[in-house]
A and B are shown apart, each in its own frame.
Chain A
Amino acid sequence: MYKVVFDGSREKADHKSVYANTIQALAAEDEKIIALDADLMNSSGTFKFWKEHPDQMINVGVAEANMMGIAGGLSAVGRIPYVHTFGPFASRRSFDQTFISIGYAGNSVRIFGSDPGVCAAFNGGTHMPFEDMALMRAIPGATVFDISDAVLLGWVLRDIKSNEGVTYLRSTRKSFLKIYEEGSTFEQGKANLLREGKDAAVIACGLMVGEAMLAAEELAKEGIELTVIDMFTVKPLDHEAVAKAAETGAIVTAENHNIIGGLGESVAASLLEQGLPVAFKRHGVMDRFGQVGAVDYLQEVYGLTAKDLIVSVKETIAKKK
């Protein structure tokens, strides 16, 4: 069970230490666990663990495609690999190796792509993945997460230990708005209902969950009641949660990702296939490349703030039949 403790404040625990601590704890519990990184341990926080446990924490150097192949091979001989690199290199840079050497070959690897979307900030356009979920969703049987909160991150990292095939999660290394109480538990493939309202529903993931909660608070002041859903498992999608959201008659999806190939298209397909006619809008990055800047600035540039979301929600409510 999870408990929502959102009060608009920044998460105290940075996600970076959550990743490093969880990997370290998992490795201590099970010698089959092995983590790999591509010259970004100083970024993922696993640097110290590497120095202490070079048998369970492997640096492959700046060679992401090679890393995916090595992880596939480790899986084939019974190890439980976790790999990390920045999102673009964890997805597009090494896509065929993940697709073939892990997915198609029947191996099981958990891939953490850090700095999703605008979180790549000062690293700029080359490092800013607005398409990673689109790519990973297209791998047969893959599980894809967009992480909204540090408690959720820790839980997902543990729970995917026994996942089969390709598992991909994207999460910031810094901190997002705090959503869940410490000790909360979740279920893969089951969306979290954070707030219930009758006027419209925002189905969000990752960075946009906090923004959706902020938007809901603002809209409540105007008498508009919003349902907010954290669709942290982007694949497989929770169709029941989509149907529940459809009861409001207006759905806006919100993602720190291109509107092509991400959460929005997935929810749209679900709505149509379930025969649920609602007013609908995909809110996300409008088919653009990334650029350099602070996260706040980039959220404004790409329309990923609560303020922008409020505009989309109102537009969508106005289209309700």
Chain B
Amino acid sequence: MDRKRELELQEFAATIRAETVKEVADLGFGHIGGSLSVVEALAVLYGEVMKIDPKNPDWDERDIMVMSKGHAGPAVYATLALKGYFPMDWLKTLNKPGTNLPSHTDRLKTPGVDMTTGSLGQGSSTATGMALGRKLAGSDSRVFLFIGDGESNEGQVWEAAMFCSHYKLDNIVWFVDYNKKQLDGFVEDVMDMGDFQEKFEAFGFHTQTVDGTSVREIYDAIEAARQAKGKPSCIILDTVKGEGVSDLIEIELNHHVQFPEEMANRALEQVTAALERVRKELANV
């Protein structure tokens, strides 16, 4: 990837982050911490990697994304809106009466959402089923699955991992959003998951750990995963819950937070400044 393309993806990521903050600011509360930590990975997938057609979200040959930590819906919605799956002003309707954008991603409601999630753990199995189905059909489309580090407490996650490995599903890439926090605080204090790299390797995955805020590292890892034949892949995203918004990072329990106007304004200022910085740099290459 050349420097220009890298900056373009950074710009896309910064835009997703700004739109995500706006969505939650409009509502005044929400699952913002865990939405902000997956932004760069979403930007790489939807900006560069995935074979998709926003005008034809049900296209049979498309690549698939399952956000098993479904409460990251706001980040997914910002990404899909920016890609043109639906109008940008839908983003103002997050969780409002009759909305198509509920807290947790819902395949029956939102164009571009490939699977319904929100009950943690379940997306790992449904994504696995989609990967199996595509593989059996001889399709070369790929499935990208996001799970949380807290979500990985669920036994179902590991049942699905076992299956991916046994059936040699090399068309699925698992992303672990390793932001070190779950709802009741640090994963280490609530239910220590140990070493994700070792765990997924032990489950037979081609496993890599990357800086989850680096679009280049994420992109390179996805390309390396493509080369790993005969086994599923796992990319551990080293991230921060609340990435890009200092006020949020400072809150210990930042899973579902009140987002009062003053804090929202500061957050908006910070993410907008970050976006401006990337744009300036982009203008110079």
Contact = CB atoms under 8 A, between A and B. Distances in A.
Contacts of B103: 122-124, 292
Interface string A78-105: 0000000000110001000000000000
Nearest to B103: A124
Interface residues of A, number: 29
A49 to B, nearest CB: 12
Contacts of B151: 62
Contacts of A43: 183
Contacts of A291: 102
A62 B124 CA distance: 14
Interface stretch (B50-58, B111-119, B223-231): B111-119
Contacts of A61: 150, 153, 182, 190-191
B253 A125 contact: no
B118 A39 contact: no
Interface string B133-161: 00000000000000000110111000000
A293 B97 contact: yes
Nearest to A66: B155
A41 interface: yes
B121 interface: yes
Contact of A39 (B70, B95, B106, B184): B184
B119 A124 contact: no
Given A42-B253, A293-B95, A62 B102 contact: no
A293 B70 CA distance: 16
A89 B96 CA distance: 24
B254 to A, nearest CB: 11
A65 B150 CA distance: 15
A183 B102 CA distance: 41
Contacts of B183: 39-40, 42-43, 62
A124 B102 contact: yes
| Chain A CB within 10 Å, residue with most, of B104, B116, B255 | B104
B161 to A, nearest CB: 15
Interface string B76-117: 000000000000000000011101001110100000000011
Interface string B17-61: 000000000000110000000000000000000000000000000
A50 B184 CA distance: 10
Choose among B97, B99, B255 the residue with the greatest number of A CB atoms under 10 Å from its CB: B97
Interface string A302-318: 00000000000000000
Given A47-B184, A62-B151, A126 B117 contact: yes
Given A42-B183, A42-B184, A126-B117, 11 more contacts: A39-B182, A39-B191, A60-B191, A62-B121, A62-B183, A88-B119, A123-B118, A124-B95, A124-B102, A124-B104, A127-B104
Interface of A: 37, 39-43, 47, 50, 59-63, 65-66, 88-89, 93, 122-127, 291-294, 297
6 contacts: A39-B183, A39-B191, A62-B191, A122-B29, A125-B102, A126-B119
Interface of B: 29-30, 70, 95-97, 99, 102-104, 106, 116-121, 150-151, 153-155, 182-184, 190-191, 253, 255
